[in-house]
Amino acid sequence: MVDYLLIHSSQDGYFDPDYISFHQFDMPAVRVLIDKSFYIVFPYLKYLPVEQILDELTNETALLISSSIIFSGQRWDIPEERKAVDSISEKISLSIASDGKITVKDIKSFHGTSAYVNRSQFADMKPEEKEKALMKKFTSPDLKLSDFKYELKNIAELERDFIVELSYSLDNQVTITPDDILFQTGGLLSPVNLYSQKIDTTERVNPIDIRHPEIFVKDVSISYPPEWKLQTAMNDTTVSNKFGSSVEKKSATTGVINISQVTKLEKSKGAKNEASLLYDIIRGDQRRNLPVIVFSAGK
């Protein structure tokens, strides 16, 4: 059984059931019944897997256009359940040389909506534009990068995670004095990196609407010369509120610091003036982000 749908998107604002017009239904799709389950297919969205529904369409209203006179013209709610949880996992390896130069390797894996969004953004982009766009989205503007390289994996394999691999060097993040070494982390340790997005709780206009659970996993390994002595305390932290939680565990041995972060956003709603609570989860504070890590020279 196949039907045609016109769907209202939450990006178009509130759906008014008392004022039905085609202007409220501008997202076409096909509804297919397979083994007693409905699948919503968007043939024109190149990188969207068949089993996935866009966040802005779930739990929204659709106008059903069917070959059956009985069902055609009826309204139908897009199912809220999803086949996969949205998640982003990241592994960062930082290697600090004795002269302070840092080599960075960053592997990001995107699953669910984040995979679709990033595939759509980067897959068909011109090569000369792609490098600039990747740097803007996935690295801090405060960092001065060199030797930037990238690789995109699983672009066409929609059933697999979309993977972005970055490597680059940093020359200005470490200050070496006769007694101490200061490593300015430049946001590399933030639980969720939103470099390309402006974060200002006072200017937020819309209320908070987290439509589905999201998971962010980040593992950071920092290697440094073994003669350096770590002075900054590596304390575990946990933050939680109505929007989710963030748990961070740190450990250190001679020459190596390991940081593991698991951040979860729960399905929730909130007023715009509660944005600071959300940013506490996804951006962290100085206890978690460690803006500066201090070593002694170990002489």
Q: What is the CATH number of the domain that holds 233?
A: 2.60.120.1130
- Asked if 77 and 24 count as a contact pair (C-beta separation under 8 A), the reply is no
Q: Which of 163, 145, 143 is nearest to 153 (CA)?
A: 163
* Same domain, residue pair 159 and 277: yes
Element (H, E) at 288: helix 286-289
List all residues 6 or more positions away from 47 whose beta carbon is below 8 Å from its beta carbon: 116, 119, 120, 123, 158
* Same domain, residue pair 149 and 250: yes
Domain edge (last residue) among 77, 111, 142: 77
pTM: 0.86
CA distance 15 to 56: 12
* 223-246 pLDDT tens trace: 999 999 999 999 999 999 999 999
* Same domain, residue pair 274 and 163: yes
Domain edge (last residue) among 44, 77, 110: 77
Domain edge (last residue) among 77, 101, 125: 77
* Same domain, residue pair 249 and 268: yes
pLDDT under 70: residue ranges of the chain? 22, 67-72, 81-84, 191, 193-203, 284-288, 299
* Same domain, residue pair 68 and 120: no
Q: Tell me, what DSSP letter sits at residue 207?
A: P
Q: What is the pLDDT at residue 67?
A: 65
* Same domain, residue pair 91 and 73: no
Q: Report the domain count for the chain.
A: 2
* Same domain, residue pair 179 and 209: yes
Q: Chain-wide mean pLDDT for the chain? A: 87
* Same domain, residue pair 185 and 278: yes
Q: What is the pLDDT at residue 107?
A: 97
* Same domain, residue pair 73 and 102: no
* 86-133 pLDDT tens trace: 899 999 999 999 999 999 999 999 998 899 999 999 999 998 899 999
Which residues constitute the domain of residue 253?
86-296
* Same domain, residue pair 70 and 136: no
